[in-house]
């Protein structure tokens, strides 16, 4: 069992700290930037929790943000006396327990309004621009089909994928073969062949990489017109993609298909 000794803060080099290889909590580049912004504005006020071998128990995001800012040493607290199962359970608990509490929406809005009046940068609160417009419980919900829709952002690296890596056609190809070998009329075949294109599974991350590192300006423009890559949301609406919902990430823009 953990000891009840007073916690002591020690400073460790970030390069000495070892991330937990099976940490289920993931930090996006945007999230790391947000944490870095908080550290830059308020300081590194929450120590990283580590074990006796410098393994990170809690604070993976803070360590990544410190490295982004070029901070060489960060405050750490070593948790003594934890068994390996206890340590692994605590890693889960530290991330999950904070998610279980809710928000008093009215109090939250009052606090945000006060901070706004004090010229505080509300992005440092950790809330996204859309979340900063959280309506009170007794106010009507915002129509999700609008230009205020939250579109996940992705910053491509230097990968240069082939077009064949940007789409998985296996399901469509299987059905196309069945359609072509069927005994139905040619008109029906032509219609179903067109409909089969709905089964293409696009990897929007790879598409973004191709758009950035491979595609010509003409190809890039066509990608934008098809909303394969969204540079300007208003352009996407103008090109007929007017009902892009807030859960677009679940359909492939955030995770690979």
pLDDT at 156 over 90: no
What is this structure's pTM? 0.46
CA terminus-to-terminus distance, the chain: 43
Q: Among candidates 134, 158, 6, 148, which has minimal Cα distance to 78?
A: 6
pLDDT at 13 over 90: yes
Q: What is the pLDDT of residues 243-257, one digit of tens each?
A: 544 444 444 444 443
- What is the number of alpha carbons within 13 Å of residue 3 lying toward its C-beta? 10
For the record, the structure tokens of 51 come out as 């074990």
Distance CA 8, CA 224 (A): 54
Q: For the packed helices 170-180 and 186-195, what is the interaxial angle rounded to 10 degrees? A: 180
Distance CA 113, CA 7 (A): 37
> Average pLDDT over the chain, rounded to whole?
80
Cβ contact 20:55 at 8 Å: yes
- 139 versus 37: the higher-pLDDT residue is 37
For the record, the structure tokens of 103 come out as 């928000």
pLDDT band at 71 (very low <50, low <70, confident <90, very high): very high
CA-atom Rg of the chain in angstroms: 24
Q: What is the pLDDT of residues 85-115, one digit of tens each?
A: 888 888 888 878 777 777 777 788 888 888 8
For the record, the structure tokens of 53 come out as 């071998």
Distance CA 46, CA 72 (A): 16
């Amino acid at each position: 069992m953990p000891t009840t000794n007073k916690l002591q803060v020690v400073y460790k080099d970030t390069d000495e700290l070892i991330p937990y290889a099976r940490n289920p909590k993931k930090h996006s580049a945007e999230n790391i930037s947000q944490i870095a912004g908080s550290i830059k504005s308020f300081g590194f006020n929450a120590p990283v929790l580590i074990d006796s071998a410098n393994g990170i128990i809690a604070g993976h995001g803070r360590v990544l943000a410190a490295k982004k800012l070029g901070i060489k040493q960060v405050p750490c607290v070593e948790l003594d006396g934890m068994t390996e199962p206890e340590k692994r359970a605590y890693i889960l608990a530290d991330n999950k327990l904070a998610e279980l509490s809710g928000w008093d929406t009215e109090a939250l809005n009052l606090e945000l309004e006060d901070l706004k009046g004090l010229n505080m940068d509300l992005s440092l609160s950790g809330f996204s621009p859309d979340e900063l417009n959280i309506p009170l419980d007794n106010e009507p919900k915002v129509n999700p089909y609008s230009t205020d829709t939250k579109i996940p952002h992705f910053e491509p690296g230097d990968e240069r994928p082939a077009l064949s890596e940007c789409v998985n056609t296996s399901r469509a190809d299987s059905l196309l073969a069945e359609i072509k070998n069927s005994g139905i009329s040619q008109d029906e075949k032509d219609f179903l062949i067109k409909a089969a294109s709905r089964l293409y599974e696009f990897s929007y991350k790879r598409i973004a990489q191709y758009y950035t590192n491979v595609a010509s300006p003409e190809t890039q423009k066509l990608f934008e017109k098809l909303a394969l890559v969204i540079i300007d949301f208003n352009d996407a609406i103008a090109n007929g993609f007017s009902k892009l919902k807030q859960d677009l990430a679940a359909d492939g823009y955030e995770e690979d298909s």
